[in-house]
Amino acid sequence: MLVVVHENYDAMSRKGAEVIASRIRRKPNLVLGLATGSTPVGVYKELISLHRNEGLDFSKVVTFNLDEYVGLPPEHDQSYHYFMKDNLFKDININPSNVHVPQGMFGDVKISSFETDPKIVQFCEWYEDEMKKYGGIDIQVLGIGGNGHIAFNEPGSSIGSRTRIKTLTEKTVADNARFFKTANDVPRYAITMGVGTIMEAKELLLLANGAGKADAIKAAVEGPVTAMCPASALQLHRKAIILTDKPAATKLSAEFVTYG
C-alpha cells in the first residue's frame, strides 16, 4: 500500500485527480469506479477543471458507482444518481450510456424478503456481469467511513462479498443524517458492491480527510485484516493507493507514510 499524506484537502484532491487523469490519458476507454460522499467532491472538481482547461476527454470512459440508497428515486437530491450528475457528469463529456450507478428503486419489496427478492438479486448479478463485460474496473475511487466501511460494506461484511443489498449501521445513518432533514429520512438500505467486488479492481484509490477518519485510517493501514474494518482488506490488494490530508493521518506510524 502506498500511503501519501498531503498538506490539506485541496492538495489531496489535486493528487487524486492527477492519478485518475493519468490513467485516462494512458487508456481513453478506462473503466473508472466512482464513489459518492463529501470526500471525493474535490477530486471531481479537479477533474472538471482538467476537462475544461486541458481537454481531459471522458467520451470513452466507462464508469461504475459503488452504491445507491434503496428507495430514493434517481431525481431525489440525496440519491447517488443525482449526486454524480450534479458533482461530475453534468460538467464533463461522459457518454450517458457509459455510466452505471446501481439501481435503488425496486417497487414494492417487503423488507423481510429484501435479500432474496428476485428483482434485487437479478439486478446485483447484472451489475457484476456488466463490470466483467467491460473487462473489470481499472481504478476504483473509495472513501472510508468513520467505522472503516468502504462503499456500504459495514463492519462485519464478508471480505469476499459481492454486489448485494445491505442494511446501514446506526453510525452510518447518523453520519449521513447531515444530508437529510432528519435522521429518520436517511434510507436504511443500500445496494453496494461487495468488498470482494472492490478487491477485483486492478487499482484502488482510497481518499480520506479530516480528524474523524484518523482511527479508521489507522485500522485500515496498520490494523489486522478483518471484516470488522472492511477497508483493511486493501492490505491484500496489489495496487492500493491511500491519499489523505494531515488530520486523517495523525494516528499512523511515521514509517508507513510518504508526504505528497
- Please indicate whether residue 245 is annotated as part of the active site: no
Q: Nearest distance from residue 258's CB to ligand PGA, in Å?
A: 22
Looking at beta carbons only, is 80 or 123 nearer to ligand PGA?
A: 80
- Please indicate whether residue 130 is annotated as part of the active site: no
Alpha helices in the chain (DSSP H): 9-26, 41-54, 80-87, 118-133, 170-176, 195-199, 214-222
Residue from 16, 33, 102, 143 in contact with ligand PGA (CB under 6 A): 143
- Please indicate whether residue 154 is annotated as part of the active site: yes
Catalytic residue among 51, 149, 175, 209: 149
* Cell representation of residue 259: 508526504
Looking at beta carbons only, is 20 or 144 nearer to ligand PGA?
A: 144
Residue from 13, 39, 79, 153 in contact with ligand PGA (CB under 6 A): 39
In the chain, how many H helices and how many E strands?
7, 11
Catalytic residue among 46, 68, 128, 154: 154
Residue (of 190, 195, 100, 212) closest to 149 by Cα position = 195
242 binds ligand PGA (CB under 6 A): no
Catalytic residue among 87, 147, 153, 176: 147
Q: Which stretch binds ligand PGA (CB under 6 A): 36-44, 114-122, 198-206, 243-251?
A: 36-44
145 binds ligand PGA (CB under 6 A): yes
42 binds ligand PGA (CB under 6 A): no
Residue (of 67, 69, 73, 8) closest to 42 by Cα position = 8
- Tally Cβ neighbours within 10 Å of residue 117: 17
> Nearest residue by C-beta to ligand PGA?
37
Residue from 16, 37, 102, 187 in contact with ligand PGA (CB under 6 A): 37
Q: What does the H/E/C string look like for 236-248?
A: HCCCEEEEEECHH
Please return the burial class of 199, using the count of CB atoms within 10 Å of its CB with bins 0-12, 13-18 and 19+.
buried
144 binds ligand PGA (CB under 6 A): yes
Q: Which stretch binds ligand PGA (CB under 6 A): 51-59, 126-134, 143-151, 198-206?
A: 143-151
Residue (of 90, 86, 78, 84) closest to 190 by Cα position = 78
187 binds ligand PGA (CB under 6 A): no
- Please indicate whether residue 149 is annotated as part of the active site: yes
Cell 475544461, located at residue = 52
* Cell representation of residue 254: 511515521
Residues interacting with ligand PGA, by CB under 6 A?
37-39, 143-145
